Amino acid sequence: MSTNLRIALRFLTARRKAMVMSLACITLGVGLFVVTQATTTGFERFFIKTIVGTNGAIRIEDRIQETLRTMEAERGSDASGFVVEVKEGRKYIQGIQDPALLIAAVQRFANVSGTSEVLYGSVEMRSSFKNEAARVYGIHLDDHLQVSDLGRQIVRGDLADFRLTPAGTLVGIKLAERLQLEVGDSFQLQAGGEVRRYRVSAIFETGVGDIDKDRLFLHLGEARSLLRRPTGASFIQVNVVDRDRATQDAAHMEAVLGHSASSWQERERTWLDVFRALRLSTSITVSVFTLIAGIAMYNTLALVVMEKTKDIAILRSMGYTRRDVTRIFLWQAAMVLAAGAVLGCGLGAGVTYGVSLMRIRIRGIFTADHFIVAWSVWHYLAAVAISVVMVMAASLLPARRAARLEPGDIIRGTAQ
């Protein structure tokens, strides 16, 4: 053990109560930071999992056609004015005319892990109980299972039944509840003049209220004849291996394929921003504890320096340097900090676990029945890093002041 550390250890005991106060603040600061990060990140990740599992990582829709005006602008102006004018000069042609061709092109992207052709349209849904407006989504089941969590979202009934039954449907849970439909019940769908009879094969729950209340899945062929759309698709839902790269991939696809492509990050920007703001504001709030820990440490060390001026003079007279004195005081802070960090991480992990057992009912943007927490080593590292910066910065001042003390002044008795 270094001599400075040894001396620091003994000095620590001189102001035990004050040091324990600092320790408690550091522990609380680190612990609460971890807990808030764990819960906000937990809910955020769950939200992302829900939206990606429902509407997919990337959605490719309408065709984009550059208009004549744009082309002129492109030729006539320099590069800086060009982007805006492209936007103005864009024309969207609804839907996808040749889905097979587009899918073949999309699958050449390295990050793409699955594609599903979807045709949707508005219908009226009629049960013996009442009528509701709904949206049908025509899919190839196996393709769609590759780009969504539909398989895991089934709450009643059986996917196999849907696969084997041409008139089978998958109905959103809220929609089923409104129409008082159960698995096995039949109902009618009306689109235009067409009325057809279908059966509930299974009921799904995505957790997103807006989806669960008006969506039902049909086999693509059935959807085509019901909606009288023998060719084309409304959109292609794409799954990717690395979902964090979805935005770049979407931009790339848009440029290459001439169709609008939107990533989950773009589609859900509002909610994602809400989560980010929430995470930031809670961490700022909780960092106040760490700030208090820094102030407490400053006060404690200033007290110890005052109490130990004679000892400092003695050490200096024996040949201990100014740097030794600084280190003796920084070591004290570092030891309390280390203990606080360890205790704080323990506290954080314990409370996070406790919170994860708490029941809370959340409906709307996703469905959860208990607190959702994320376990990430980064939360702990960030919490410790913040406390290290705050506490060590606060300790530097008294430690420096101790180092500046002149041994002659102290022994003569004139040092304040």
Partner 1 sequence: MSPAGARPLGDPVLRCEDLHRSLGQGEGRVHVLRGVSFAARRGEVYAMVGPSGCGKSTLLYLLGLLDVPDRGEIWIDGQRMSRDDDAARTAARCRHLGFVFQFHFLLLEFTALENVMLPMRKLGRWGPSEMQDRAHALLASVGLASKTHRLGNQLSGGEQQRVAIARALANEPSILLADEPTGNLDVRNSAMVFELLTGLARKNGQAIVVVTHNPELAARCDHTLPMRDGLFLT
Binding site residues, partner 1, CB under 8 A: 3, 7, 10-11, 13-14, 310-311, 313-322, 324, 406-408, 411-412
What, of ligand ADP, partner 1, none, does residue 11 touch, CB below 5 to 8 Å by kind? partner 1
Instruction: State the minimum distance, in angstroms, from the CB of residue 409 to ligand ADP.
Output: 8
Report the alpha-carbon distance of residue 323 to residue 331 in Å, rounded: 12
Is there binding between residue 414 and ligand ADP (CB under 6 A)?
yes
Whichever of 295 and 314 has its CB closer to partner 1, that residue is 314
Nearest to 230 by CA among 93, 59, 92, 97: 97
Total residues in contact with ligand ADP, by rule CB under 6 A: 2
Is there binding between residue 412 and ligand ADP (CB under 6 A)?
yes
- Orientation of helix 269-307 relative to helix 377-404, angle to 10°: 30
Nearest to 322 by CA among 401, 267, 387, 210: 401
- The residue of the chain with the least Cβ separation from ligand ADP equals 414
Do 38 and 379 touch, CB atoms closer than 8 A?
yes
Instruction: State the minimum distance, in angstroms, from the CB of residue 297 to partner 1.
Output: 20
Whichever of 10 and 412 has its CB closer to ligand ADP, that residue is 412
Instruction: State the minimum distance, in angstroms, from the CB of residue 392 to partner 1.
Output: 24
Whichever of 211 and 328 has its CB closer to partner 1, that residue is 328
Instruction: State the minimum distance, in angstroms, from the CB of residue 385 to ligand ADP.
Output: 45
Whichever of 20 and 284 has its CB closer to partner 1, that residue is 20
Quote the Cα angle for 266-36-286, to 5°: 115
What, of ligand ADP, partner 1, none, does residue 318 touch, CB below 5 to 8 Å by kind? partner 1
* String marking each residue 374-393 x if it binds ligand ADP according to CB under 6 A: --------------------
Whichever of 313 and 368 has its CB closer to partner 1, that residue is 313
What, of ligand ADP, partner 1, none, does residue 86 touch, CB below 5 to 8 Å by kind? none
Report the alpha-carbon distance of residue 272 to residue 93 in Å, rounded: 29
Whichever of 244 and 406 has its CB closer to ligand ADP, that residue is 406
Report the alpha-carbon distance of residue 264 to residue 239 in Å, rounded: 10
Class of residue 323 by CB neighbours under 10 A (exposed 0-12, middle 13-18, buried 19+): exposed
Do 221 and 210 touch, CB atoms closer than 8 A?
no
Instruction: State the minimum distance, in angstroms, from the CB of residue 338 to ligand ADP.
Output: 40
Helix (H, G, I), strand (E, B) or coil at 129: coil
Quote the Cα angle for 232-238-241, to 5°: 160
Q: Report H helices in 56-108.
A: 68-76, 79-88, 99-106
* Region of 192 on the Ramachandran plot (φ > 0 left; ψ -120 to 50 alpha; else beta): left
Do 79 and 213 touch, CB atoms closer than 8 A?
no
Hey, CA dihedral for 320, 322, 323, 327, is it positive or negative? positive
What, of ligand ADP, partner 1, none, does residue 186 touch, CB below 5 to 8 Å by kind? none
Whichever of 347 and 402 has its CB closer to partner 1, that residue is 402
Report the alpha-carbon distance of residue 226 to residue 232 in Å, rounded: 14
What, of ligand ADP, partner 1, none, does residue 406 touch, CB below 5 to 8 Å by kind? partner 1
Whichever of 10 and 91 has its CB closer to partner 1, that residue is 10
What, of ligand ADP, partner 1, none, does residue 15 touch, CB below 5 to 8 Å by kind? none
What, of partner 1, ligand ADP, none, does residue 53 touch, CB below 5 to 8 Å by kind? none
Instruction: State the minimum distance, in angstroms, from the CB of residue 408 to ligand ADP.
Output: 10
User: How would DSSP label each residue in 210-248?
Assistant: HHHTTEEEEEHHHHHHHHT--S-BSEEEEEESSGGGHHH
- The tokens of 299 are what? 């006060």
What, of ligand ADP, partner 1, none, does residue 351 touch, CB below 5 to 8 Å by kind? none
What, of ligand ADP, partner 1, none, does residue 184 touch, CB below 5 to 8 Å by kind? none
What, of ligand ADP, partner 1, none, does residue 408 touch, CB below 5 to 8 Å by kind? partner 1
Instruction: State the minimum distance, in angstroms, from the CB of residue 307 to ligand ADP.
Output: 21
Residue numbers at the binding site for ligand ADP (CB under 6 A): 412, 414
